[in-house]
Amino acid sequence: MNVGFVGLGTMGGPMARNLLKKGHSLVVFDVVPSSVKALVDAGAKAAATPKDVAAASEMVITMLPDAPDVERAVLGADGVAAGIRPGSVYIDMSTIDPATTLRVGAAIAAKGASMIDSPVGKTADAAVAGTLTLMVGGPDDVVARCRPVLECMGTDFFHCGALGAGQTMKLLNNLLAQTIGSANVETLVAGVKAGITLDTMMAVLRTTMAWNQQLGVAMTKRSLAGDFKPGFMTKLAHKDCRLALSMIDSLGLRSPVTHATMTALDDAMRGGIADDDVGAMLKLREEAAGVKVRLA
């Protein structure tokens, strides 16, 4: 299939590569020339604008940082909507708010094309491996048409509902993940400050209901080993939680615990780790406490 891909960053680049590996023809665009060159060297063709990507593709995918980026790439004068062909499909795999998804979807439908949303879960390592979690929203028939392409990039596929439902699920997922992560960091730093070793805490927590995937997998592999290189950047976690809480507030619900998570992420942004992995929140808490929390 002729697939277009707009947004070749930390996640989008390896996702696009997996489409090439599975035999699809690929046309790509990114505002960073080196990112485009890397995909061209791997066998893709470059396009000058998102409009040109859409004109050359049966399916067009965007993987971009935030809602304004998606709106520019799709609704701008040289955007996807200006070039998409009737009968084609647009898939947004960015993490944005459902309201923007619905607005963009209406513009795509006006061109005689279809849209689904499919934000992804897991890490950059999973993007490379092609084992992402796919949270999909859209009509049954369009989702079924897109599934073989999506499964080139992910192994856990969930059709969450109508257009925008994928975004809703992704925002809630990330909000919960960051809430758990923030609690982990504060707990471990407090324990070390109080004189309990990290190894002791991990051994005890592993036997109780306090244990969680972040302690067992993500933090063990990255932050507790002192690795804060960008995987999922703090600024993106901040953006996702801001969008999730706005959505929850619009439902008229109280969420004091997750609002506290937003406060922690605000602190992290002010602490200068916006471009670091979100696990660098551990580093900020360590510095404030005067301790180091590291696995042997």
Task: Provide the sign of the torsion angle of the four alpha carbons 185, 135, 250, 100, taken in this order.
Answer: positive
From 170, 235, 239, 283, active-site residue: 170
Residue 39 and residue 26 in contact, taking contact as beta carbons nearer than 8 Å:
yes
Residue keyed to tokens 């963009």? 104
What residue type is 206 in one-letter code?
R
What residue type is 171 in one-letter code?
L
For this structure, is 229 an active site residue?
Answer: no
Rg value, the chain, Cα: 20
Q: Which residues are catalytic?
A: 170
